[in-house]
């Protein structure tokens, strides 16, 4: 059955999606992380924080990301920065260094350390024991001033296989009020193929425990395009997910990159669904979710109409950062932990990616900043344009001209010429006041944003003298 606007707030055009599907950024930042450079280090980060203080103590409450890299077992599909180990002593060592970094960041942001958003990601944050998590949260509260529970968003990613009902209630008592569950697929054969055996009953029990504990929002992560998946298995999984009724659903396209991620080499190419079937899976999922009343937020996210993400989008307050879509626009993002990426003022920075390098920097008494970038005026302008399109699917040209001393049509003349071709295909609408992504164009919004990305096609610093190629870690836009 073809999808129509009567069934969803977007149009599914398989031919357009197939033709435009290419490798491209997810725009959790602009410029994207592959443009960070090692010239931006600890000193540059200190300057960025000092600059925020000079401008009046920052622009409001902070967002804090905590990276816990450890996993007990490896999921074959995973491309995250993780450390698979059953040696729990490694987590204890990591926590001692993580607390040191948190203390340094807390002092650095003294006077502007009000926290309105917290996210624990990984890896598997619940790899930590209940006592370790309690001590870590207490340490965070010693260094940052948490907004009241009803005002703040404090979320944690959970592997349902690692928690009991009591642990879920304990997490709520420790201050978390939102939870994200990794599910990927309910089908047993698919789970076996990706080495993630997770019975449906186990996942549903954790969801019920979260509701009983008073979590305000429950999110589920799903992946389409996994080995052994078929349209029938996907249909069954979606029916079970919808029946479970999570507040948010993230539906990711599996990116098979075995040359980059060793665990994926255990997945047989022959077990992967072909591209046309993956597209049918996406159509099936969109149809099922929108028919069930979920709102298409953008990219791969859906939410119930009364969820904060959907409300923020309707009110034009939606933002996008390294954790995906967020309701806290323009909040400085402080990131702690190995490989974590933060955003302070007009800069981005990333921590060291290996434990040894991370520990070494902290032993030297410096924050473990490995690389980053300071945005110039053009970067800030293009970031604003891309953010508006990614979050709201429309852009007020007048608002850009008020924020920057330019005439939009002149500054972006080359980009508008490219967009005219997309306009003729019915993907965008352009007039003197607005640039809007149509219902047909929403699923390819990344392609539309790529028009404004001046770095695409330019060699990265690490590629100087090498072939001018796109970063290999870009995923397919659809």
Residue 400 marked in a binding site: no
Rounded-to-integer distance, Cα 268 and Cα 272, Å:
7
- In contact, 113 and 145? CB cutoff 8 Å: yes
Residue 184 marked in a binding site: yes
Residue 75 marked in a binding site: yes
What sign does the CA torsion over 9, 14, 16, 19 have? positive
List alpha helices for 174-307, DSSP H. 188-193, 200-213, 231-244, 275-291
Rounded-to-integer distance, Cα 223 and Cα 464, Å:
35
Rounded-to-integer distance, Cα 462 and Cα 130, Å:
42
Cis geometry, peptide bond prior to residue 31 (ω within 30 degrees of 0): yes
- In contact, 283 and 232? CB cutoff 8 Å: no
Residue 221 marked in a binding site: yes
Residue 150 marked in a binding site: no
What are the distances in angstroms from CA 462 to CA 143, 342, 377, 392, 471? Answer: 36, 21, 23, 34, 11
What is the DSSP pairing of strand 475-476 with strand 23-24?
Answer: antiparallel
List alpha helices for 36-129, DSSP H. 42-54, 89-108
Residue 123 marked in a binding site: yes
280 CB-contact burial (10 Å; exposed 0-12 / middle 13-18 / buried 19+): middle
- In contact, 36 and 372? CB cutoff 8 Å: yes
Rounded to the nearest 10°, the torsion over CA 239, 243, 249, 254 is -30
Let me know the angle formed at the C-alpha of 251 by 245 and 257, rounded to the nearest 5 degrees: 150
Residue 173 marked in a binding site: no
What sign does the CA torsion over 455, 458, 461, 467 have? positive
| Nearest partner of 325 among 356, 354, 361, 300, judged by Cα | 300
Residue 453 marked in a binding site: no
Residue 421 marked in a binding site: no
> Across-strand partners of 310?
none
| Nearest partner of 34 among 465, 369, 463, judged by Cα | 463
- In contact, 163 and 205? CB cutoff 8 Å: no
Residue 65 marked in a binding site: yes
Residue 77 marked in a binding site: yes
Residue 78 marked in a binding site: yes
Residue 114 marked in a binding site: no
Any idea what DSSP says for residue 63?
A: E
Radius of gyration of the chain (CA): 22
Residue set of the binding site for S-adenosyl-L-methionine: 65, 77-79, 122-124, 157, 184, 196, 221, 255, 341
Binding-site residue positions: 65, 71, 75, 77-79, 122-124, 157, 184, 196, 221, 255, 341
Q: Residues annotated in the binding site for [4Fe-4S] cluster, as ranges?
A: 71, 75, 78
């Amino acid at each position: 059955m073809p999808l129509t606007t009567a069934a969803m707030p977007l149009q599914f055009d398989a031919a357009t999606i197939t033709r435009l599907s290419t490798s491209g950024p997810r725009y959790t930042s602009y410029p994207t992380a592959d443009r960070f450079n090692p010239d931006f280090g600890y000193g540059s980060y200190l300057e960025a924080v000092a600059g925020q203080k000079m401008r009046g103590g920052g622009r409001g409450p902070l967002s804090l990301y905590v990276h816990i890299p450890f996993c007990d077992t490896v999921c074959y599909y995973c491309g995250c920065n993780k450390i698979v180990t059953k040696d729990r002593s490694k987590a204890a060592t990591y926590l001692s260094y993580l607390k040191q970094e948190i203390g340094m960041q807390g002092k650095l942001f003294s006077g502007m350390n009000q926290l309105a958003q917290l996210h624990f990601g990984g890896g598997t944050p619940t790899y930590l024991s209940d006592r370790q998590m309690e001590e870590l949260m207490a340490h965070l509260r010693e260094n940052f001033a948490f907004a009241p529970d009803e005002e703040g968003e404090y979320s944690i990613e959970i592997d349902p296989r690692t928690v009991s009902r009591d642990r879920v209630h304990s997490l709520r008592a420790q201050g978390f009020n939102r939870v994200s569950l990794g599910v990927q697929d309910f089908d047993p054969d698919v789970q076996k193929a990706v080495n993630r055996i997770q019975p449906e009953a186990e996942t549903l029990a954790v969801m019920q425990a979260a509701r009983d504990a008073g979590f305000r929002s429950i999110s589920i992560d799903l992946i389409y395009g996994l080995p052994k998946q078929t349209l029938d298995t996907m249909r069954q999984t979606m029916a079970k997910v919808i029946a479970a009724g999570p507040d948010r659903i993230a539906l990711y396209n599996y990116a098979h990159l075995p040359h980059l991620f060793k665990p994926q080499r255990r997945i047989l190419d022959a077990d992967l669904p072909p591209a046309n079937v993956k597209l049918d899976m996406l159509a099936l999922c969109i149809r099922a979710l929108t028919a069930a009343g979920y709102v298409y937020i953008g990219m791969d996210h859906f939410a119930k109409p009364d969820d904060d993400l959907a409300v923020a989008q309707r009110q034009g307050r939606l933002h996008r950062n390294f954790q995906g879509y967020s309701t806290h626009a323009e909040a400085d993002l402080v990131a702690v932990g190995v490989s974590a990426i933060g955003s302070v003022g007009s800069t981005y920075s990333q921590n060291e990616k290996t434990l040894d390098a991370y520990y070494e920097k902290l032993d030297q008494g410096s924050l473990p900043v490995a690389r980053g970038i300071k945005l110039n005026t053009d970067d800030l302008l293009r970031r604003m344009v891309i953010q508006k399109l990614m979050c709201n699917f429309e852009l007020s040209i007048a608002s850009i001209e008020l924020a920057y001393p330019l005439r939009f049509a002149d500054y972006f003349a080359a980009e508008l010429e490219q967009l005219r071709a997309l306009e003729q295909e019915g993907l965008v609408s352009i007039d003197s006041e607005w640039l809007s992504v149509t219902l047909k164009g929403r699923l390819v919004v990344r392609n539309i944003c790529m028009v404004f990305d001046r770095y695409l096609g330019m060699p990265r610093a690490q590629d100087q003298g090498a072939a001018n190629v796109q970063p290999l870690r870009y995923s397919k836009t659809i």
